[in-house]
Chain A
Amino acid sequence: MITGSQIIVKCLESEGVRVVFGYPGATVCPIYDSLIGSSVRHILVRQEQNAGHAANGYARVAGVPGVCMATSGPGATNLITALATAYMDSIPLVAITGQVSSDLLGRDVFQEADITGAAEPFTKYSYLVKSAEDLPRVFKEAFYIASTGRPGPVLIDIPVDVQQAKVRQFRYPEAVHLRGYKPTLRGHSGQVKRLAEAMRQAKTPLLCVGGGVIRSSAQEEVLALSRRCGIPIVSTLMGVGAIPTSHELYLGMIGMHGYSQANRAMPESDLLIIIGARVGDRAVSDPHSMERQSRIAHIDVDPAEIGKNVGTSIPIVGDARTILRQLLETDCCPVENRWPQLLPQLRHQPHFDEPEPGYINPKYFVRRLTERLPEDAIYVADVGQNQIWSAYNMVVKAKTCFLSSGGMGTMGYAIPAAMGARLADPTRQVIAACGDGSFQMSMNELASCLQAGVQLKVVVFTNRMLGMIREIQQNSYGGHIFGSSLEGSPDFMKLAEAYGIPARRLSDQNQLEEALEEFLSAPGCRLLEVAVDPEETSI
């Protein structure tokens, strides 16, 4: 005989899960008990939301679903923001929640919450397991659904009595049978031909890459297409990291906080090829004018994204990498490419202003920091001005991985996600960049990093303000700065000391290189506070 909780652990082992990020509670105690002696490592976080973000960072680096676990009631509801964050950015997660005993369901007992109901809008799928016999099938399906098609979070809610129930034997299924779920991977050959023909006819085709290019590992194919045909590339925020900044045809990020050369290239294009991007409002504020200006081809694994935000004349459903490979087999280069004449007029190099005394220019800091990072470093940006400074100014190298909460814009993402990323690959240098607002949303996870032996380099840009809100209030609310001051924040040097993390405050730009050298070369966790002028703008 084997218990439900032992089955759960065996399912995780069968899926090759190495790490589970979690926080125990009464209704997951059977699973915790069964984890003792398992090959699955448990990492204790300090709040459940961060278990979800850590699993998110892990998934994005490891390329397999990240796993997080929380108890019923508040543990489960704390996970919701992390589920929503993963859902918006199409990150594969499997979230396990404990639930009150099945015979008590629906009676509002202690720590009962309808988590499958509450998380429904933010999950790709969810299960409320009623019988221990169903567990192997449910886990097999959950990992399959989370990681295939358009990836996303899957929730498995398991009442404590199901975890304790005894079953005769464990057998992990080899295949899944889901009648309503068969993701398309290969692009329709007729549509690929139409796109190839449209590209041949186009004079200024433009590739717009989103997070889907990274999810499907299509970076090489995008570069190959760009190089072969001389087609420039722009990216969305989620696409940052896909294309090295050194690629001569890469124009940078588009959108509200994008590069002017990228934004100016968009209306010049007569054929916009969107790959794995959903054309969100931050990337394209007026999709209808875009529809009028150019023909639009849209490659996406999720058919529901095509035509949702922007009208498309050439839709291709499938995996970005597979479709680009199909396209590379065709004769698709423009017969007459006008970019060589246009590009020199669009080119724009960012210029870094000298900061006021006592402050560091955060944009220049990001540039210098990322220039110094190894080829395969992982840079995790939080949300706020720090996200824009990072995405806009970072140097992307061949294997750089850039992680941030793009769709949901979840503050507090960076530290737990960076912890997950580092656990996915402890050989890679991991930077977590936060503002003083976002840092204070998850600085408690420094303890988790120390407990798990995770070496993070944490950058905290401090201006004692919620900088982006201050900027919005300055520009759009008559300069009424209200509710956005962070007075009362702790001395971050003393805070780091309390955690036993070596730290330094950088406020003199002349010391920037030396501080970076020390920050990056020293082993173990380190914290670098970067003093930023409160008047500093995002762009």
Chain B
Amino acid sequence: MKYVISALVSNQAGVLSRISGLFARRGFNINSLAVGETEDAAVSRMTIIVDGDDYMVGQVEKQLNKQIDVIKVKRLEGITTQRELLLVKITAQAPQRREIIDITQITGAKIVDLSTGTMTLEICDRPDKIEIFLSLLEPYQIKEIARTGVIALEKGVHTIGKD
């Protein structure tokens, strides 16, 4: 099962290597890890997608909390807004372009680059929608993909600082 963990961390040199080292060392299965600054410039927010059971995700939370640089850890269990940004470059000769434009329109993706033999598409959506989008592109040759990893916030008044 996939769990979403959000962590606020001090914006220190070495914090990312400490945390990624911790995951590797303890054998935690991490699907994705996204980091960025928050409303407080001294603090970054990490969104970690963990694949595992309740024991494993509990261990991830505890080991994260143990880190000196980690200020707050929360397992996002309620209803959350999740987003991931994907860039995908596909082979697209002129005759195929129309079909691809249809897919982008239906899925809410955007065409961000076009060359004689390729198209680059952008989509920002829920992780499951992104998987659907990628499956729709399977008939075309995917040349490369870049994804940001999932970021998430709880819906409603809840924040990581307050339950």
Q: Which residues of A contact B (CB under 8 A)?
A: 116-117, 120-121, 124-126, 128, 145, 178-181, 302-304, 307-308
Contacts and interface: CB of A to CB of B under 8 A. Distances in A.
Contact of B67 (A117, A128, A180): A180
Interface in B42-101: 55, 58-59, 62-63, 65-72
24 contacts: A116-B14, A117-B17, A120-B17, A120-B18, A120-B21, A121-B21, A124-B68, A125-B68, A126-B14, A128-B13, A128-B14, A145-B68, A178-B68, A179-B71, A180-B10, A180-B68, A180-B70, A180-B71, A181-B68, A302-B66, A303-B62, A303-B65, A304-B59, A304-B65
B9 interface: yes
Contact of A304 (B13, B18, B62): B62
The 6 tightest CB contacts between A and B, nearest first, are: A304-B62, A180-B71, A125-B68, A304-B66, A179-B71, A181-B68
A304 B73 CA distance: 13
Nearest to A308: B59
Given A128-B13, A179-B10, A304-B63, 17 more contacts: A116-B14, A120-B17, A121-B25, A124-B68, A128-B14, A179-B71, A180-B9, A180-B67, A180-B68, A180-B71, A180-B72, A302-B66, A303-B65, A303-B66, A304-B59, A308-B59, A308-B62
Contacts of B17: 117, 120
A302 B65 CA distance: 10
A261 to B, nearest CB: 33
Interface string B1-23: 00000000110011001100100
Contacts of A125: 68
Interface residues of B, number: 21
Nearest to A117: B17
| Interface secondary structure of A, over-half rule | mixed
A303 B62 CA distance: 7
Contacts of A304: 59, 62-63, 65-66
Contacts of A181: 68
Nearest to A180: B71
Contacts of B72: 180
A157 B71 CA distance: 24
Contacts of B59: 304, 308
Contacts of B21: 120-121
B115 to A, nearest CB: 38
A307 B18 CA distance: 23
Nearest to B40: A179
A142 to B, nearest CB: 11
B113 to A, nearest CB: 35
B58 A307 contact: yes
A304 B65 CA distance: 8
A125 B65 CA distance: 13
Contacts of A121: 21, 25
Nearest to A154: B68
A318 B24 CA distance: 28
User: Which among A117, A126, A179 has the highest number of chain B CB atoms within 10 Å?
Assistant: A179
Contacts of B70: 180
A48 B94 CA distance: 68
Interface in B82-135: none
A123 to B, nearest CB: 10
Nearest to A182: B71
A117 B21 CA distance: 10
